[in-house]
Chains A and B, each alone.
Chain A
Amino acid sequence: MSEHPPSRPDPSGSPWPPAGAGDREPGRALLAIYDHALPQVYGYLLARCGSRAVAEDLTSETFLAAVAALGRGPAVTTAWLVGIARHKLVDHWRRQAREDARLRLVAGDVAVDDDPWDARLDALRARQVLAGLGPSHRAALTLRYLDGLGVAEVAGHLDRTLHATEALLVRARAAFRRAYEREEGCGD
């Protein structure tokens, strides 16, 4: 085995090329904040969809979507993940709305007045009423009031024009009010 050429590196050697860029860093960052971010993301979803099974599904979708978006999106933070969760929640309601639309061929929105409504809402009852609304009304009201987003942001999430979103919010508020007052009537 005398095939080895005992060669000698030239002492004037150039330094190492820089080590490969840390393209796996965002992945590490995601795993690093997982334990902290998971209850935030899950809690956000659970409070809005009210079902543990749905919240778990959407939580999984959120984190896996985050993996796919790593490196393209902004820095990996809990706020970024909650933003993805919000998208997943809206997607979920959009799927539900499509299924509902298949069930009732024509929804036929009734004309509504946007009368001023002066009431103090019972939070628990309001949550129950919200859960009973149709998915598009529920999505619009959740984004606008539970998340506190502006109408333009709500429109962005729902993929509607500002005008259409304002109209949707008027109808959703009216539907909420009808259901809430009905609930109130039953409860008292």
Chain B
Amino acid sequence: MTDPLEGLRLPAAPADPDPVFAADLRARLARALLPPGGTMPTLSPYLRVADARRAVDWYARVFDGRPRGEPYVMPDGSIGHAEVAIGDAVLMLAEGTAPRPGEHAHTVYVEVTDADATLDRAVAEGAALERPAATQEYGRNGVVVDPFGHRWLVMTPVAAGGAAGTGERDGAGTPAARHGDVGYVSVGVPDEGRARAFYGAVLGWRFSPGDMPGGWEVEDRTPGVGMWGGQDPPEVQLCFRVDDVAAAVRAVRAAGGEAGDAEDRAYGLLADCRDDQGIRFQLWQPPSG
């Protein structure tokens, strides 16, 4: 006995949707596929919720969003920070108890090129400084409550505006270098002629001859950059500024890395190091005074 319904089998039948719909969906996909840590809108709402994992899931499902990166888990197991990408925006979430009267459940996260300057201006214009600017691994930031009662997290991300994460400033208004900053970048290449042509064309670098044969100083860069030929395979090494090179060398060894003894150079004390995964770097203590 054949089943007459068997004859209803539909072969694959592609159909072109409305081109406007097709283009719009492609754009939505491209946005949804932005890598975590990719472009970040200047303004983002920051909500405090009791259960961040549930909230991430809820906002993602209801608003067609998707979790962005891994949540940041605090030592006590709570979620310190989580993000949901929704369209071209990012919703930020942190876990905390429900707000009491007078507390804020919402914060607006704003990225600026100079968090200190913005915070200073906000306070001068009547905002209450809730948390002064401080440098954290992801950038320099502080919190103000504006005259209208809204709370703002003002952030200069690490990557933006060059040397984010500096507290003290020197007289010229440029950030003063601190312990842990990158003080110098050494670029070693097999053929320095080709590298000079390449980076000259790509970045507009100009070179002046260095102290050593085959060595070149890139002019007017912060931090300074030096380039050497005859390095095969090529390697980039970072040189970190430290307050006390002897103490830093001990810290490298204690943390499982390798460090040579500091050598006295014309520009200060320098120690060659290798971290516990094999990356080579240098520690540099500038001459005092």
A contact set with B: CB distance below 8 Å: 1-11, 13-17, 23-24, 27, 30-31, 34, 38-40, 42-44, 46-48, 52, 55-56, 59-60, 63-64, 67-68, 70, 82, 116-121, 123, 126-127, 130, 141, 144-148, 173, 176
Contact = CB atoms under 8 A, between A and B. Distances in A.
Interface in B247-289: 265, 267-268, 270, 272, 277-280, 282, 284, 286
B13 A17 contact: no
A4 B184 contact: yes
B26 A31 contact: yes
B66 A42 contact: no
A63 B26 CA distance: 9
Nearest to B189: A9
A55 B5 CA distance: 24
11 contacts: A4-B183, A7-B186, A7-B226, A13-B235, A40-B14, A43-B13, A47-B10, A64-B66, A67-B29, A70-B33, A121-B8
B137 interface: no
B112 interface: no
A63 B29 contact: yes
B74 to A, nearest CB: 25
Contacts of A23: 35
Interface of B: 1-10, 12-18, 21-22, 25-26, 28-30, 32-33, 35, 60, 64, 66, 177, 183-184, 186, 188, 210-212, 215, 217, 223-224, 226, 228, 230-233, 235, 237, 239, 265, 267-268, 270, 272, 277-280, 282, 284, 286
B53 to A, nearest CB: 15
B280 A42 contact: no
A14 B27 CA distance: 42
A79 B213 CA distance: 61
Contacts of A176: 5
Given A10-B280, A31-B30, A31-B33, A4 B224 contact: yes
Given A7-B184, A7-B282, 4 more contacts: A7-B226, A16-B233, A60-B25, A130-B8
A95 B25 CA distance: 23
A78 to B, nearest CB: 9
Contacts of B9: 145-148
Q: Which of B16, B29, B284 has the most CB of A within 10 A?
A: B29
A117 B32 CA distance: 50
Given A10-B272, A31-B29, A47-B15, A5 B8 contact: no
B22 A120 contact: no
Nearest to A176: B5
A13 B12 contact: no
A30 B6 CA distance: 34
Contacts of B186: 7-9
Given A47-B13, A146-B8, A146-B10, A7 B33 contact: no
B17 A5 contact: no
Given A5-B265, A11-B230, A117 B29 contact: no
Nearest to A147: B10
B284 A118 contact: no
Contacts of A146: 8-10
A121 B7 contact: yes
Contact of A145 (B8, B212, B215, B217): B8
B7 to A, nearest CB: 6
A120 B7 contact: yes
Nearest to A44: B12
Contacts of B268: 5
Given A7-B186, A31-B30, A67-B29, A2 B267 contact: yes
Of B4, B32, B35, B267, most buried by chain A (CB within 10 Å of CB) is B4
B26 A7 contact: no
Contacts of B184: 4-7
A56 B26 CA distance: 13
A5 B267 contact: yes
Contacts of B183: 3-5
A9 B192 CA distance: 14
A173 B239 CA distance: 76
Contacts of A130: 8
